[in-house]
Structure 1
Amino acid sequence: MQHATGLRPSAQILISDTDHDRLTGLASTVLDRAPETAEELLAELDRAVITEAEAMPADVVRMGSTVTVRGESGDIKHITLVYPGDADIAENRISVLTPMGTALVGASIGQVVRWSGRGGRKLSVTVEAVDTPVCGGEY
């Protein structure tokens, strides 16, 4: 586990201590049912720089953030990163346990996030904007 110490490289992700704890617990609970998904999330959490929730920059995707992303073809989408029980594809509420959700957590504006889709297809989006959740920045 790393702690924030200033500038972060473009591929670095930043996660609040609160999100880190909650997401680690979530990944642990689904490890038996969805090992690949849980292991991917745990790998992302392991490489993250962890900071206090109050110190999280506004441009970083966290749980509850509404994120504007630009796809490879230039299409713009607005999605909200949520826990599995709150996911609703029709409302663009994407679970953190999806490949895209796992890739987005901790990313910042301007960062390109990549993941593997069905059949191993490589997908990516660029984070264009992040709207931080209300209630003190924690979801």
Structure 2
Amino acid sequence: MEMRAEKKQPAIHLIDEEADALTNLAIGVADSLPQVSELLLVEIGRAVIDSRETIPEDIVTMFATIEFIDEANGASRSVQLVYPKDADISAGRISILTPVGAGLIGLREGQSILWPDREGHERRLRVVKVAQRAPDA
């Protein structure tokens, strides 16, 4: 029996309050952003839920800064994952409601995921480094 490892998604972890907030956000944009809403809901559904106190430091959470590589072209990017109201691509803050944002949430340093981009092409994104940041007050 042949295993298709490239289709198997890595285990992900989410903080309980963030999982609740992201579920509400995804449901709220189901009509306007159906693809991202569905992708995010699937990710939330398969996640291991942790408390803020017990989630490992190397997990991508909201407001974390993530260095990742797009393995299709070798491009390395560093972005902060934020809620839509805080997004500013020119400042390196990407919304959780983008395909990349929805793909990175919950991943751990060293993990990669095969994920669709805005055009529907699959890309492999690999997390290199995660730096936790507290949300702005």
Q: State the partner residue of 1:111.
A: 111
What is the rounded CA distance, in whole Å, between the counterparts of 2:27 and 2:58 in structure 1?
28
Q: Tell me, what secondary structure is at the counterpart of 1:120?
A: coil
Aligned CA distance change for structure 1 residues 70 and 36 (closer, same or farther; 3 Å): closer
Q: State the partner residue of 1:101.
A: 101
Q: TM-score, structure 2 length as denominator?
A: 0.86
Q: Which amino acid aligns with 2:109?
A: I
**Greater than 4 Å deviation, 4+ residue runs:** none
Structure 1 segments unaligned to the other structure (5+ residues): 1-9
TM-superposed deviation, 1:61: 0.1
Q: State the partner residue of 2:78.
A: 78
Q: Which amino acid aligns with 2:94?
A: I
Q: Which amino acid aligns with 1:130?
A: V
Q: Tell me, what secondary structure is at the counterpart of 2:26?
A: helix
Q: State the partner residue of 1:5.
A: none
Equivalence map 1:28-47=2 (5 Å): 28-47=27-46
Q: TM-score, structure 1 length as denominator?
A: 0.85
Find out whether 1:58 has 2:57 as its counterpart: yes
What is the rounded CA distance, in whole Å, between the counterparts of 1:65 and 1:76 in structure 2?
16
TM-superposed deviation, 1:44: 0.5
Find out whether 1:12 has 2:11 as its counterpart: yes
What is the rounded CA distance, in whole Å, between the counterparts of 2:82 and 2:90 in structure 1?
13
What is the rounded CA distance, in whole Å, between the counterparts of 2:76 and 2:39 in structure 1?
25
